[in-house]
Structure 1
Amino acid sequence: MLIFKQNRCIALLVGVILVCFSAISLMQPNQVAEGKIDNLQMDKLQSTSRASVINYLQEESKSSKTRGTTKVSQTNKLYSTVNLFSSTWKPEQSVEWLSKNKIKPQNTSQASIVRVKADVAQSNSAAQKATAKKSAQTVVKTVSASQKNPLTTLYFSRTELLSQEQQSKATRRYAVSEEELLLLQKIVMAEAEGEPYQGKVAVANVVLNRLRSANFPDTIYKVIYQKHQFSPVANGRLKRVKPNDDSIKAVNAALSGVKEVPDSTYFFLSLKLAQDLTVHHSQEYVKTIGNHTFYK
């Protein structure tokens, strides 16, 4: 304090430096709040202020040599004091300033709502998939059960064979006897023994389509034994065959409503073996399965 009293110019200079620092802080409050203080500018300001003080002291030291040793010693003490002050005082560099992004509150409630909605949608989707899978499994089990245990009652409309669920729309009901069931299995075996499974189902479809149609007999027995219709009846093969598993399954599938050909399909023949091609030339083509061609 004695040094500052004796050298008022130095005290004034130090005061100016402190005022400069305060003015800088007041003029740039936004940068200070956001942690954007330019470290390079602060270092430059510090080094500039320190150099100014040192230069002033050096000049004072030179001028004081002519005025006596007492003045020199006082000046040296002041010089060392300012050096100590300038070297020890530094702005805190480890302080982490808070920015707007850091202090901005996060909208956690909206994110939670979005997350909950996503979880609900995912659970609903999973529930729908589980329901669809369960329904498909139920349908498969129903068809499999009907194929193992053939339906004994058929429901017809004027244009198609109906499923059990559509029986309210039926215009005709037909009860299949055990003899007719065996006869239907045997005609499928005799006509399509070497054909693919779909071809066996299609042959059973043709017999049931004729049973429904008013242009053909009204019982399975009469449909199969109608003259000049099925070659195994004429050559006696129908009586000799024994239905295999595929033939039995194909008949049960056709009785349960599985259709490999449309309800309007009434004819089929093998173009390789048939001697009479009247059907081929007179009827409309539907599809070919294996060696059999089907017509309506």
Structure 2
Amino acid sequence: MDIISKNRWVAPMLSVLLVCIVGVNVVQATGKWNEDGDSKQMTELAASVNNGAVSSNEDRRMLQDGTSLSNDTSASSADWINTLPAKNWLVSAQEEQELAEARAKNKARAAAAAQAKKEAAVKLAKIEKAKEAAALTTPPKKLYFTRTKLLNQADSKLATWSYSVSDKDVLLLQKIVMAEAEGEPYEGKVAVANVVLNRLRSANFPDSIYKVIYQKSQFSPVANGRLKRVVPNEDSIKAVNAALNGKKEVADDTYYFLSLTLADDLTVARSQKKVKTIGHHTFYK
């Protein structure tokens, strides 16, 4: 009992020592586990980063050359496409298609505009041709002159004076053209009408178509009676209508014409300046 009484402190000390030993072992075991866990996490993080870099590099290479770096031939095209994160090549293809469609639309619009322009030009040409045809069939009701020339109907605002054309004037002009130039070309018929109208304009000749044609010793068909006998043909009518509408085969200062082979008096040929020859007629100013 004395021994136990003397050594009663030993048991508590052993208990404390045992607790300390167990605690140290637990702490060491816990630290090692944490270290292993941290190391494992760091290893996984590094692998993830590396894998991301490799994946990014592979993505770039796949976008550049359009081929996959995978050696797994069993993977389908759809699976490979779905592995591309942004699918930029699909966007590029769509943009190319939109650009091609825009170019096609622009080309179609340009073609349509060119066709419309061509049709407008054809329509304008038809209108001009219709106007010319009207000039061959319809004489104007009024002539417009300046001091030096006969104006066409479109330039009437520039006129310094005008002359009202009667039906008798038109018929008389057609008859003198027919009588003087029946066998002459169409241009020669227009030129004869031009000479009569040039005289009408000039202050040196009478001031009406009738007076110009019937002026003494000017037109041989008047003297020999042929003027009264002729009936204007189609060419003579067209030539007169064209001249009245402004068509000119000789200049506005041309006042004379004659046939050098048929004329009895060649005074005009010797005294006036030659302008041109049409058929058998020579014109002078």
Name the TM-score, length of structure 2 as normaliser.
Answer: 0.65
Root mean square deviation, CA, Å:
3.4
Aligned residues: 222
Q: How far is the alpha carbon of 1:233 from its aligned partner?
A: 1.5
Among 166, 179, 185, the residue aligned to 1:190: 179
2:190 corresponds to which letter in structure 1?
Answer: V
Secondary structure of residue in 2 paired with 1:293: strand
Map of 1:210 onto structure 2: 199
d(CA) in 2 for partners of 1:32 and 1:131? 55
Q: TM-score, normalised by structure 1?
A: 0.62
* Superposition map of 1:229-240 within 5 A: 229-240=218-229
Cα distance in 2 for residues equivalent to 1:269 and 1:241: 19
- 2:99 matched to 1:115? no
- Cα distance change, pair 123–284 in 1 and its aligned pair in 2 (3 A): farther
- Among 149, 167, 186, the alignment partner of 1:160 is 149
- Residue 259 of structure 1, aligned match among 226, 248, 254: 248
In the superposition, relative to structure 1, how do residues 112 and 140 fare at CA in structure 2: closer, same or farther (>3 Å)?
Answer: same
Asked if structure 2 preserves the Cα contact closer than 8 Å seen for 1:143 and 1:256, the reply is no
Q: CA deviation at 1:35?
A: 8.9
Question: Is the alpha carbon distance of 1:261 and 1:110 closer, same or farther for their aligned partners in structure 2, counting shifts above 3 Å?
Answer: farther
**Distance change (3 Å), C-alpha of 1:204 and 1:113:** same
User: Which stretches in structure 2 are left out of the alignment for 5+ residues?
Assistant: 1-57, 78-88
Q: 1:274 to 1:114 in 2, by over 3 A?
A: farther
Aligned residue for 1:278?
A: 267
State the alpha-carbon separation in 2 of the partners of residues 116 and 248 from structure 1. 54
Decide which of 125, 133, 136 is 2:122's aligned counterpart: 133
Inter-partner Cα distance in structure 2 for 1:102 and 1:267: 86
Q: CA deviation at 1:123?
A: 2.0
Q: 1:219 corresponds to which residue?
A: 208
TM-superposed deviation, 1:245: 1.7
CA contact (8 A) 1:270 1:293 kept: yes
Amino acid at match of 1:149: T
User: Does the residue aligned with 2:276 lie in a helix, a strand or coil?
Assistant: strand
Segment of structure 1 superposing worse, 209-218 or 227-236? 227-236
